Amino acid sequence: MAISLVIFGASGDLTSRKLVPALFQLFRKQRLPEDTRIVGFSRTPYSDDQWRQALAESTERFNGRHFDRAAWDKFAAAVHYQAGDIAQPGDFDTLHQRLCELDGSRDGTRVYYLATAPQFYEDIVARLGACGLADEVHGPRRIVIEKPFGSDGPTARRLNDDVHKVFKEKQVYRIDHYLGKETVQNILVLRFANTIFEPVWNRNYVDHVQITVAEEVTVGRRGSFYDQTGVLRDMFQNHLLQLLMTTAMEAPVRFEAEAVRDEKVKVLRAITPLSSAQVATDTLRGQYRSYRGEPGVAPDSQTATFAAVKLAVDNWRWQGVPFYLRSGKAMSCRTTQIVIQFRSPPHMVFNSRSTNICEANQLVIQIQPAEGIQLHFQTKVPDAGMRLRMTDLDFSFVREFAGTMPEAYERLLLDVFQGDASLFARADEVELAWGIVDPIAAAWREIRQPALETYEPGLWGPANATEWMSQQGRQWFDTCPVLS
Ligand code: BG6
């Protein structure tokens, strides 16, 4: 069956940096379903050929050495452009006509990808509905919605309501590109396709879990967006909570959209949102020193570019095991990692200095950029009496598998074409996630606690983050990955 992918926001950054390069990679790998066409929609008055040319240049830039001109020319034959304005209902009728012309008399799947600024989502959805583009008489109709999905609980609920006036939930694909990362999917494989981890993956053996998404970059040219958003909305509501759900969830009965999402949602339901008093003690916020000088940022901005949050997952498996989440811009290095910190041995038999809690076993899941997993464990140092030292079992994707890791969007786009929503967020999931983040944002705004600390770019966030952990008898895993 033919597939038409209609991209709203066709002349935007996401389309040229991520979507089209991912589609082209799928085409090169012969994974793009036959008879797939891409139709761009935005206000820029391109012809088909002008859009193709613009995309050829950007794709060459972003695909680098994987760009192949002959393959591109074949791919580009399926790329079309329809100039139009989201504010003009008539332009949706024209789009409808164009899609019908491209389809001819064939039935087919249509996927509408919202890659515009989020304030246009409601209008696009309503207009798709009004001109009949959501009807499923001639094949499935799906809608893909980029983050941010709302800016808090009430706006996310309103957006869900508006979307549901036109599309049924099973037609809706809310993207979180973290779920498209191979290493994130591999957490499920590690846990549920092996028998040795699950028995220890609980409060009996795990002391705490750390989830870090550190970025070395500053906000750069995104200052005006970021200053309205901040780290909680930009990273926690989506990416960090997705990593937490994947780490903490129970095994789904099978790898199917509803089963997977049911289990993830149960994790969110087990997290009691923090009270204002808890926000003051269980969260930290920081801003890197040069942030207020970035273009688009208010000179007295209170926006946090770093946050650390301690959450409890109140269920049978995780009772008493804190989950420490942290993320920030302008940090020491780019690294996303999940550390499962196991408990110390109950009794130290060896007369060693290695009895510190931080020397207990750790499983470090490196999500990016050094994709892999390390298990840290104690080993006897040879020829040194009974001295012990932490050593590693080290698995690395690049060492083990030939070829480069695919971009997250490749997998996600393919899943949408195939109608598999396992790696997409459900309506209740995004609303529950906001329910965890909103009280933190509100307390920061209203009671102004904890204080917004300044940190020097290139560090692991503000200095009090280290003290905060050590007061709890714990230590951050502040290690930059070694890239081979
Ligand atoms: C985006 C955020 O969702 O994720 C950005 O808006 C952030 O601020 C980016 O830089 C990080 O994604 P990745 O895949 O580079 O870790």
How far is the C-alpha of 288 from the C-alpha of 359, rounded, in Å?
Answer: 31
- Residue 235 Cα to ligand 1 midpoint, Å, equals 7
CA 226 to ligand 1: nearest atom: 8
Summarised one tens digit per residue, pLDDT across range 416-454 is 999 999 999 999 999 999 999 999 999 999 999 999 999
Minimal-distance CA residue to ligand 1 atom 2: 234
pLDDT at 355: 46
How far is the C-alpha of 341 from the C-alpha of 271, rounded, in Å?
Answer: 20
pLDDT at 191: 98
Minimal-distance CA residue to ligand 1 atom 14: 178
Q: Which of 21-35, 339-353, 382-396 has the lowest mean pLDDT?
A: 339-353
- Residue 389 Cα to ligand 1 midpoint, Å, equals 36
CA 336 to ligand 1: nearest atom: 16
- Residue 268 Cα to ligand 1 midpoint, Å, equals 22
Higher pLDDT, 482 or 200: 200
Q: Strand, coil or helix: what is 80?
A: strand
Q: Strand, coil or helix: what is 464?
A: helix
Strands (E), 9-160: 36-42, 79-83, 108-114, 141-145
Q: Are 245 and 185 in contact (CB under 8 A)?
A: no
Q: What are the residues whose beta carbons fall under 8 Å from the beta carbon of 123, sequence distance 6 or more?
A: 86, 87
- Residue 234 Cα to ligand 1 midpoint, Å, equals 8
- Residue 383 Cα to ligand 1 midpoint, Å, equals 47
Output the CA torsion 224→480→237→273 (10° steps): -130
Q: Got the DSSP string for 391-407? A: EEEEEEHHHHSSSPPPP
pLDDT at 104: 85
Q: Which amino acid is at 386?
A: M
Minimal-distance CA residue to ligand 1 atom 8: 234
Among candidates 274, 289, 211, 317, which has minimal Cα distance to 450?
Answer: 274
Minimal-distance CA residue to ligand 1 atom 10: 215
Tokens 């590109």 locate to 177
Angle in degrees, 0-180, between the axes of helices 427-446 and 241-248, rounded to the nearest 10 = 120
Residue 103 CB-density burial (10 A; 0-12 exposed, 13-18 middle, 19+ buried): middle
CA 215 to ligand 1: nearest atom: 10
Tokens 């087919």 locate to 108
Query: In 109-256, which residue ranges form alpha helices assigned H by DSSP?
Result: 121-130, 153-166, 182-192, 223-231, 241-248
CA 181 to ligand 1: nearest atom: 14
CA 368 to ligand 1: nearest atom: 16
Residue 310 in this model has a pLDDT that exceeds 70? yes
What phi and psi, each to the nearest 5 degrees, are found at residue 306? Answer: -140, 140
pLDDT at 226: 97
How far is the C-alpha of 364 from the C-alpha of 338, rounded, in Å?
Answer: 6
Q: What angle do CA 322, 328, 332 make, to 5 degrees?
A: 105
- Residue 203 Cα to ligand 1 midpoint, Å, equals 31
Question: Residue 18 carries which DSSP code?
Answer: I
User: In Å, what is the CA distance from 131 to each residue of 30, 88, 124, 398?
Assistant: 34, 12, 11, 48
How far is the C-alpha of 219 from the C-alpha of 223, rounded, in Å?
Answer: 6
- Residue 181 Cα to ligand 1 midpoint, Å, equals 12
Is 239 catalytic? The answer is yes
How far is the C-alpha of 481 from the C-alpha of 371, rounded, in Å?
Answer: 9
Higher pLDDT, 59 or 403: 59
CA 239 to ligand 1: nearest atom: 3
Number of other CB atoms surrounding residue 116 within 10 Å: 21
pLDDT at 266: 98
Is the C-alpha dihedral spanning 396, 401, 403, 406 positive or negative?
Answer: negative
- Residue 329 Cα to ligand 1 midpoint, Å, equals 10
Is the C-alpha dihedral spanning 436, 438, 444, 447 positive or negative?
Answer: negative
Q: Strand, coil or helix: what is 343?
A: coil
What phi and psi, each to the nearest 5 degrees, are found at residue 426? Answer: -90, 165
Candidate of 145, 178, 215, 225 to mutate for ligand 1, largest count of ligand atoms within 8 Å of Cβ = 215
Pocket around ligand 1: residues whose beta carbon is below 6 Å from it? 147, 177, 215, 234, 336
CA 147 to ligand 1: nearest atom: 3
Minimal-distance CA residue to ligand 1 atom 13: 178
Question: Residue 368 carries which DSSP code?
Answer: E
Candidate of 147, 177, 222, 337 to mutate for ligand 1, largest count of ligand atoms within 8 Å of Cβ = 177
Q: Are 143 and 172 in contact (CB under 8 A)?
A: yes
User: In Å, what is the CA distance from 409 to each residue of 17, 18, 21, 281?
Assistant: 11, 7, 9, 37
Summarised one tens digit per residue, pLDDT across range 353-412 is 544 445 899 999 999 999 999 999 999 999 988 889 999 999 999 999 987 889 999 999
Candidate of 234, 305, 407, 410 to mutate for ligand 1, largest count of ligand atoms within 8 Å of Cβ = 234
Residue 273 in this model has a pLDDT that exceeds 80? yes
CA 98 to chain centre: 34
Number of other CB atoms surrounding residue 272 within 10 Å: 12
Across all residues in the chain, what is the average pLDDT? 95
Minimal-distance CA residue to ligand 1 atom 6: 234
Minimal-distance CA residue to ligand 1 atom 9: 235
Q: Are 303 and 284 in contact (CB under 8 A)?
A: no
Helix (H), strand (E) at residue 3: strand 2-8
Q: Strand, coil or helix: what is 220?
A: helix
Q: Got the DSSP string for 108-136? A: EEEEEEE-S-GGGHHHHHHHHHHTTTT--
- The arithmetic mean of pLDDT across residues 311-337, rounded, is 98
- Residue 212 Cα to ligand 1 midpoint, Å, equals 13
Candidate of 236, 238, 239 to mutate for ligand 1, largest count of ligand atoms within 8 Å of Cβ = 239
Q: Strand, coil or helix: what is 69?
A: helix
Question: Residue 384 carries which DSSP code?
Answer: B
- The arithmetic mean of pLDDT across residues 311-339, rounded, is 98
pLDDT at 353: 58
pLDDT at 357: 45
Number of other CB atoms surrounding residue 444 within 10 Å: 24
- The arithmetic mean of pLDDT across residues 185-206, rounded, is 98
pLDDT at 352: 56
How far is the C-alpha of 26 from the C-alpha of 340, rounded, in Å?
Answer: 34
- The arithmetic mean of pLDDT across residues 321-333, rounded, is 98
Among candidates 267, 264, 258, which has minimal Cα distance to 169?
Answer: 258
Among candidates 361, 272, 367, 285, which has minimal Cα distance to 322?
Answer: 272
Q: HSE (CB half, 13 Å, CA atoms) of 352?
A: 20
- The arithmetic mean of pLDDT across residues 163-182, rounded, is 98
Instruction: List the domains of the chain with CATH numbers.
Output: 2-146 (3.40.50.720), 179-406+424-471 (3.30.360.10)
Select which of 177, 239, 347, 376 is catalytic: 239
Higher pLDDT, 348 or 255: 255
Minimal-distance CA residue to ligand 1 atom 5: 234
pLDDT band (50, 70, 90) for residue 325: very high
